[in-house]
């Protein structure tokens, strides 16, 4: 018998009226692994999270967390999971410490244990300085950190994070990534949803791409990027120069022919190998006697993955409620 996965879903289906939020989703997260559930707004990420955390009931299929059925053994599942939902749910009129102690008590910890646990987590999440202030005075990043800390209070076997860095500024995002990286390095099983390929790449061992309630790709970040063809090189001509000359000079450089945006003076070259092409780019520019006003290497984003996998951009009508 193989080891029991921490999370397993089979043919998960959920409908909201005429909307099918999930249509047959299979997931499998081994114990200690980090799964990134990647998809645009409305893909069904939160719906999957809410089923796994017993907040809603699936219309079809099965979901198990540490071997426990989320419908028939909901109470036991709640003891196994920690949830940090899409919007930070901490009480603004309690202090950071009071929030964590409250969640600890409601998770079944005795008073002393809840207090000690709160202190440890405040330290780990770099919130000790502000632990005695009401959460209303926190920045978005601090609120999010507290919310993730609240999900960890009862030391759950499985941590579920729904878009943990959406809405954070880049600095707060980096800070949270570092913390989550430390957590996952210690072996916590995590299911993480995100709209950012970079985030999944950074934190997850395995990525599942969700689109309109269906899994459209599974693999490591590397495998997904390879399917997209890596990143792209963007070169901008100097004002007045002909971008076609630049494009001609770069032909044969990347994995596909360069595209030219003449109005913007922009030449885009898909490149599999990222920074590895830079020496060749410099050599080609020198050989052709060309100069550029700007050069950028863009890493592939969810949009690129989507375009490659579905042939449509992520911006098609996916404006659902963001519950």
Partner 1 sequence: MTTGGADLVRMPGAGRLPADTATVTGRNLRRLVRVPTLIAFATAQPVMFVLLFTYAWGGAIHPPGVTTYIDYALPGIWVLAIAFGASQTGVAIADDLTTGMIDRFRALPMARAAVLAGRVTADAVRNLFVLVLMTGVAYAIGFRFHAGPAAALTAIGLALAVGVAFSWIFALLGLLVRDPESAGIGGLLAVIPLIFTSSTFVPVATFPGWLQAFAKVNPITVTVDALRALCLGGPTSAYVWHALAWIGVLLAVAIPAAVIRYRPAVGRQRPA
Chain residues binding partner 1 by CB under 8 A are: 53-57, 68, 70-76, 78-79, 81, 83, 85, 87-89, 91, 93-94, 98, 102-103, 105-110, 113, 117, 120, 124, 134, 150, 152, 154-157, 183, 186-188
Using DSSP's 3-state secondary structure scheme, residue 255 falls into coil
46, 53, 188, 206: residue in contact with Mg ion (rule CB under 5 A): 46
Q: Closest Cα partner for 134 from 88, 90, 96, 89?
A: 96
Contact segment (CB under 6 A) with ligand ADP among 15-23, 61-69, 183-191, 295-303 equals: 15-23
7, 21, 70, 172: residue in contact with ligand ADP (rule CB under 6 A): 21
- For Mg ion, the binding residues in 72-91 under the rule CB under 5 A are 86
5, 42, 96, 231: residue in contact with ligand ADP (rule CB under 6 A): 42
Which residue lies nearer to ligand ADP by CB, 45 or 173?
45
Which residue lies nearer to partner 1 by CB, 111 or 312?
111
Residue with token string 């999370």: 7
Residue 2 and residue 92: Cα distance in Å, rounded?
45
Using DSSP's 3-state secondary structure scheme, residue 295 falls into strand
Q: How many CB atoms lie within 10 A of CB 263?
A: 7
DSSP state of 134: B
Q: How many CB atoms lie within 10 A of CB 282?
A: 11
Can you read off the two tokens belonging to residue 154? 């009862």
Residue nearest to ligand ADP (CB): 320
- Does position 167 interact with ligand ADP (CB under 6 A)? The reply is no
Residue 235 and residue 219: Cα distance in Å, rounded?
31
CB 141 within 8 A of CB 168: yes
As measured in angstroms, the least distance from the Cβ of 162 to ligand ADP is: 7
As measured in angstroms, the least distance from the Cβ of 45 to ligand ADP is: 3
- Does position 184 interact with Mg ion (CB under 5 A)? The reply is no
Which residue lies nearer to ligand ADP by CB, 17 or 311?
17
Which residue lies nearer to partner 1 by CB, 33 or 302?
33
- For Mg ion, the binding residues in 140-169 under the rule CB under 5 A are none
As measured in angstroms, the least distance from the Cβ of 302 to ligand ADP is: 12
9, 29, 35, 47: residue in contact with ligand ADP (rule CB under 6 A): 47
Residue 21's binding partner out of partner 1, ligand ADP, Mg ion, none, with CB under 5 to 8 Å set by partner kind: ligand ADP
Residue 188's binding partner out of Mg ion, ligand ADP, partner 1, none, with CB under 5 to 8 Å set by partner kind: partner 1
Q: Closest Cα partner for 239 from 203, 263, 268, 210?
A: 263
Q: How many CB atoms lie within 10 A of CB 78?
A: 19
List strand residue ranges (DSSP E) for 147-302, in order. 158-162, 189-194, 206-211, 214-219, 231-237, 259-261, 266-271, 292-298
As measured in angstroms, the least distance from the Cβ of 46 to Mg ion is: 3
- Does position 58 interact with ligand ADP (CB under 6 A)? The reply is no
- Distance (Å) of CA 117 to CA 101, 109, 176: 8, 9, 20
Count of residues in contact with ligand ADP, rule CB under 6 A: 14
Phi, psi at 231, each rounded to 5°? -105, -160
Q: Closest Cα partner for 164 from 186, 139, 146?
A: 146
DSSP state of 95: B
Which residue lies nearer to partner 1 by CB, 120 or 280?
120
Report the interface residues with ligand ADP, using CB under 6 A: 16, 19, 21, 39, 41-47, 320-321, 323
Interacting residue ranges for Mg ion, rule: CB under 5 A: 45-46, 86
């Amino acid at each position: 018998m193989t080891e029991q996965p921490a999370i397993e879903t089979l043919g998960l289906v959920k409908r909201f009226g005429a909307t099918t939020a999930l249509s047959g989703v299979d997931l499998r997260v081994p114990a200690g692994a980090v799964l990134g559930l990647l998809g645009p707004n409305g893909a069904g990420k939160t719906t999957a999270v809410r089923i796994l955390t017993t907040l809603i009931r699936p219309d079809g299929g099965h979901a198990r967390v540490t071997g426990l059925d989320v419908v028939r053994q909901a109470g036991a599942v709640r003891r196994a999971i920690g949830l940090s939902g899409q919007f930070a749910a901490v009480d603004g009129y309690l202090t950071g410490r009071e929030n964590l102690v409250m969640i600890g008590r409601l998770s079944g910890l005795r008073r002393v244990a809840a207090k000690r646990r709160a202190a440890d987590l405040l330290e780990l999440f770099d919130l000790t300085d502000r632990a005695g202030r009401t959460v209303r005075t926190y920045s978005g990043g601090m609120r999010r950190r507290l919310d993730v800390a609240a999900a960890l209070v009862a030391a759950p076997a499985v941590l579920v994070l729904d878009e943990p860095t959406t809405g954070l500024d880049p600095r707060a995002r980096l800070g949270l990534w570092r913390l989550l990286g430390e957590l996952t390095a210690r072996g916590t099983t995590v299911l993480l949803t995100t709209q950012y390929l970079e985030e999944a790449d950074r934190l997850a061992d395995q990525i599942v791409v969700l689109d309109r309630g269906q899994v459209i790709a599974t693999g490591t970040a590397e495998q997904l990027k390879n399917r997209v063809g890596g990143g792209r090189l963007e070169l901008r001509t100097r004002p007045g120069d002909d971008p076609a000359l630049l494009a001609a000079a770069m032909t044969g450089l990347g994995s596909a022919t360069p595209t030219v945006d003449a109005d913007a003076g922009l030449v885009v070259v898909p490149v599999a190998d990222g920074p590895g092409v830079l020496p060749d780019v410099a050599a080609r520019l020198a050989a052709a006697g060309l100069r550029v006003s700007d050069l950028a290497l863009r890493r592939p984003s969810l949009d690129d993955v989507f375009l490659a996998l579905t042939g449509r951009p992520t911006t098609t009508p996916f404006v659902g409620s963001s519950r």
